Structure 1
Amino acid sequence: MAIPPPPGPEQSPDPYGQPYPQAPQPQDPYGQPYPQAPQPQGPYQQPYPAQGPYQTWGQGYSPYNRPSSVNGLAIAALVLGVLCFLPAVGLILGVIALAQIKKRGERGKGMAVGGIVMSSIGVLLLVLTFATGGARDFWDGFQDAADDAGGGVTFSVDKGECFNAPGGSLEGMAYDVDRVSCAGEHDAEVFANFSMPAGGYPGDSKVTDVADTKCFTLQDQYAMDYWAVPDNVDVYYFTPTRQSWKLGDREITCMFGNTDETASLTGSLRNDASTLDADQVAYLKAAHVLNAAMDTAPDEEYVEDDLPGHKEWATRMSDALAEQAGLLRDHSFAPAAEKPVAALVKDIEAARKEWAAAADAADADAFYPHYEKGSKLIDPARTVTARKALGLAATPPAYDEDGGGQDGGGGGTGAEV
């Protein structure tokens, strides 16, 4: 009877977990198995780890791990810094990005630092630009470029022309006007043009002051009889801008316009040597001498506040009255106007004496009586008879508190257009 062999030593499983097949043990002729020699342990006879034949990758070495993300604010800070656009915003974003990167473990520290550095430089340049006036130069250059793109065209309106302003307003900026006949309704009538000296742009205030002073003087040459100018008419003007000055524009245009923007003018206001006769021109020229002196009254309203100034003014008035009387006496007027003009000359000469006495006054109390008498003798109402005889306007214009002399005077506000 065959006896099964005793169990041998446990065999190592193969790499796939299956035991190696056991070879039959040889037996001696007497039924005893041969002794087994110890088997050396080879490198492949150790059992594999329970998890299988391949070792898993450890955290940090796995090829499938995602890299940490880049901070978005760091990117924005870098872009703003490179473009030098909103540098203060770029600086703030860079600082915030550094804090987020440290807290979240994100990437982009170099970009955040770069954005901070470049934005800081941009902020510094911006401060220097405003401190040195570079911002103004930049804006002027930008406006010049815009003007050049639009053609940079300036316009001019000649003396004696009438026009309508776009929108009907004579205030603000004007780019062009519509010329119309002075016989019909219009917004303005040009009475003078003059040019400012060459050189750099003197500034808006200087240009306005020149226009106001010069236009006030020139209006009498176009409208010699100021009584014929309606009370709702004032003086306006076109002046060069900083941009048009660079294009060679130096011209100032003086014009009459209605003080009511919703109203207009009708008919021409021109009355000069081209529309008046010789007697009318002679009379108005003499009247302008006195008007010019009246306009030099002191700023102080009361004599007590500036006695020397009022005495000097009284001297100018006395001299002007003497000149006016001489001009009227030297001209031969038509028979219908001789007597009225002669009566007016007597009043003028009497007024001259009173103003001369006021100029010699020792104090304000002595000044006032002569001043009041002299003012009554040149009251505009005393000229109405002579004016009617000469065919001139016979209704005195309204006067404001600043006064106004015989036969008109005064002037407009000179609002800039």
Structure 2
Amino acid sequence: MIEHRPPRPTDGFSLAALVTGILGTGPVAFALGAIGLHRTGRAQTAGRGFAIAGIVLGGLQMLATSIAVAWIVGTAVAGVSLLGRLPADPFGTSTGSTTIDDLTAGDCFDSGDDDGLHGTVERTACADTHDGEVLEVVTLPDGTYPGEAELETYAEDHCRSDASTAVDDAGLDPDDFEYGYYYPLEQDWADGSRLLQCTIHGWEGDLQGSVLDGDAAVTS
């Protein structure tokens, strides 16, 4: 006698894993596939292949999602990092009268009558002729006003080194340039100013271009 056995029913979880995997529901397909694989392993229902397919599709979709998220986050972090390194006015379009404290490294300017001291300057585009460029802004420590002589001594040493490094890095002729600085006067110090700006200027003419960008030239 030939024994006849009715076909095993297809496991619903396994079938659902395949369908959701095709539909791109990653984690759902993976979870349903794992359940279906366990259920079909007991040989009570069919559909083991459906369960495996759901697991594979779900796993691939989750992997692709993870890679996409990592790329987006990495791009965003890189964008923020780059933004933090840009000068306040990267295209040099913001010009006009301002205080020296408002300038940052890479800003170009025309000096006022109080050259070498704290005061008002004219911000200019570096592509235009200008008196000087800010190389570094140093925040001085709090405390009582150290006096102009001490500030000048510190500025001389620090800003001379800044200028030498900037000119060397740009491959320019050091004989064409001279350093300068702006430091707070006693009243500025009392008003909260603690910034020392190291600057660079043309020795016998105005500047055109940026020393920090390496394209500066001295005009006659």
TM-score tier, shorter chain, comes to 0.3 to 0.5
Larger strand fraction of residues = 2
